[in-house]
Amino acid sequence: MQNRETVKDENRILSWIDRIVSQLGEASGFLVLPLMMVIVVEVIARYAFHSPTIWAWEMSRFFGGSMFVLALGYIYLRDQHVRVDILYNKWSVRTRAIINVVMVLLIVLPVLIPSLVKMYDTAALSWVTKEVSSDSAWRVPIYPFKAIMPFSIGLLLISVAVKLVRDVRILVKGEQDA
């Protein structure tokens, strides 16, 4: 049986992870600023000067995609992800915890862990070869953006682990504020 100090230490660790993931998720929202600037420049160049850029499409994909994936862990921890709430909100806290644990063990982890491994391998190869985009004549380096994917999935896995611990606590100890 755990003593109070061990539980306090666990709570501190979970809270620290919460803070880090939240700060990174909130910071990723600021990528909307360069995304908007790229789009504004492209619209002005295209429609005012009849001279579209060769880089705007790729940069908007990179900024928008990075913003999206860097926020995944934050969204998961805050329960802001897509879920069919018709039944879920009507269930007790314990029933929700059971469903969460089962779904994480049967679906989320078996999908995320192999995805992380594959994304890491892909990003590592991209980094080693200094991969550039073939989508335009601009040939922008894409290896930094490919590295964001495994990092983001890693953050999501950490968030999944934190929520899993909290849900297991609800099941084992009946803790509501786990």
pTM of the model: 0.85
Q: What are the residue ranges of helices labelled H in 81-142? A: 85-88, 93-103, 109-129
Banded model confidence at residue 2, pLDDT cuts 50, 70, 90: low
Please check whether residue 150 is in contact with residue 116, taking contact to mean a CB–CB distance below 8 angstroms: yes
| pLDDT single digits (tens) 111-141 | 999 999 999 999 999 999 999 988 877 888 9
> Which of 164, 67, 156 lies closest to 115 in space, CA to CA?
156
| pLDDT single digits (tens) 63-112 | 999 999 999 999 998 888 877 778 888 889 999 999 999 999 999 999 99
